[in-house]
Amino acid sequence: MTPVYLDHNATTPMRPEAVAAMVEASRVVGNASSTHGFGRAMRGRVDRARERVAELVGAKPGDVVFTAGGTEANNAVLRGAGRARVVVSAIEHDSARLAVEAREEIPVAADGRVDLASLDRMLSASDVPAIVSVMLANNETGVMQPVAEAARLARRAGALVHCDAVQAAGKTAIDVAALDVDFLTLSAHKLGGPQGVGAIVVRGISGFDPLTRGGGQERGRRAGTENVAGIAAFGAAIGALADDVDATARMSRLRDRLEAALRAVYPAVVVHGASAPRLANTSCVSMPGVAARTQSMALDLAGFAVGAGSACSSGKVSPSHVLAAMGVDADDAASAIRVSVGWTTTDVEIDRFVAAWREVFARLSPAARLAAAA
């Protein structure tokens, strides 16, 4: 049987429109910095994509700086914004959380949402100029974060605000003005574009010290010849998203069906962050007594790809700093997998996955044996 891919938060298949744009731009020659016709045609592709990225988040095209992905964007902002204090939520993706060594972490509540009272206290405890970084939606649990509220507190304390919107983009509407952030991070491959392309949306007069120098590209904010094929594909993916108007509703229905079916198998199943507003596509679910690695291997053998642990990073299965920050007990955290549906997911795939989960649960979980004996 065809394997089923349910790890769309790690990366999602490219939209055909994005593949076509990538191939089209790869077939022609030209450096976007050259002033001749070949160069100007390449520049045109970059500019069109820039407009689409800006539109996606309600920004101006001039605010968009293309990067080689979300990791670079987070690093560029948090290391380059010139603020001595870097205050990040405890559940940020490692590319934000570990961008600077001397970080301060904002705790989160048990439901997975950033604790605003703690942020307020942290900000008023020092006059050192800060940048605050709070993601729009968490990659492991899907829990949406109170970014606009965090920004309000940050502004009052004179801090800059950064938001990693990598997982939220394409799954929920984003308006940088309503969020009132100075910097926003995007990544193409989470929304149907290619891997290795991303963007920083820089609002107003905010600036950052570039990570790369030695070229005037991106108005001096990111030196290096642009990845035109990737950038064009990023823009095309956003266009395809805009045309697929019911994608979020579809994902939401599939995710809810999946969780209801798992509850029917095991009523006490724990879905992390389920009491908070979440992305439409993400489910972080524990199978009692079965290590995430064991589950993901068993499911992989059966033909299902899911995320295990902090699976966003290089296939490693390590305890999740996100679940730890939420105060999830070590056993529950160790048995959590992430199931994330995407624009290609179907009802049949969900049914097949639930059957496989039921089989692994019955075979490996002590909770299934207890339930059977009761």
Work out whether strand 307-308 and strand 336-340 pair parallel, antiparallel, or are unpaired.
antiparallel
The Cα–Cα gap between 109 and 127 comes to: 26
Cβ proximity to ligand PLP, 43 vs 222, nearer residue = 222
Q: Under a CB-based contact definition with an 8 Å cutoff, are residues 52 and 18 in contact?
A: no
CB of 100 to ligand PLP, least distance (A): 15
Query: Which among 224, 231, 175 is positioned nearest to 203, based on CA atoms?
Result: 175
The Cα–Cα gap between 248 and 280 comes to: 6
Cβ proximity to ligand PLP, 43 vs 97, nearer residue = 97
Is there binding between residue 52 and ligand PLP (CB under 6 A)?
no
From the list 66-74, 199-207, 320-328, 356-364, the region that binds ligand PLP by CB under 6 A is 66-74
Is there binding between residue 273 and ligand PLP (CB under 6 A)?
no
163 annotated active-site: no
Binding to ligand PLP, residues 77-136 (CB under 6 A): 93, 95, 135
From the list 106-114, 164-172, 234-242, 243-251, the region that binds ligand PLP by CB under 6 A is 164-172
User: For the purposes of burial, counting CB atoms within 10 Å of the CB of 315, is it exposed (0-12), middle (13-18) or buried (19 or more)?
Assistant: exposed
Binding to ligand PLP, residues 136-155 (CB under 6 A): 139
Cβ proximity to ligand PLP, 340 vs 345, nearer residue = 340
Q: Which two tokens stand for residue 294?
A: 């064991």
Name the residue whose CB lies closest to ligand PLP: 70
DSSP secondary-structure letter at 173? -
Is there binding between residue 167 and ligand PLP (CB under 6 A)?
yes
The Cα–Cα gap between 89 and 92 comes to: 6
Number of residues binding to ligand PLP, judged by CB under 6 A? 14
Is there binding between residue 201 and ligand PLP (CB under 6 A)?
no
Catalytic residue among 22, 312, 360, 367: 312
Cβ proximity to ligand PLP, 96 vs 367, nearer residue = 96
User: For the purposes of burial, counting CB atoms within 10 Å of the CB of 353, is it exposed (0-12), middle (13-18) or buried (19 or more)?
Assistant: buried
Tally of CA atoms within 13 A in the half-sphere of 163 that contains its CB: 30
Is there binding between residue 340 and ligand PLP (CB under 6 A)?
no
CB of 198 to ligand PLP, least distance (A): 5
The Cα–Cα gap between 181 and 109 comes to: 22
**Which of 312, 322, 325, 367 touches ligand PLP by CB under 6 A?**
312
Q: Which two tokens stand for residue 233?
A: 């594909």
Is there binding between residue 192 and ligand PLP (CB under 6 A)?
no
Beta bridge partners of 133: 88, 162
Q: Under a CB-based contact definition with an 8 Å cutoff, are residues 208 and 162 in contact?
A: no
Q: Which residues bind ligand PLP (CB under 6 A)?
A: 69-71, 93, 95, 135, 139, 164, 166-167, 187, 189, 198, 312
Q: Which residues are catalytic?
A: 312
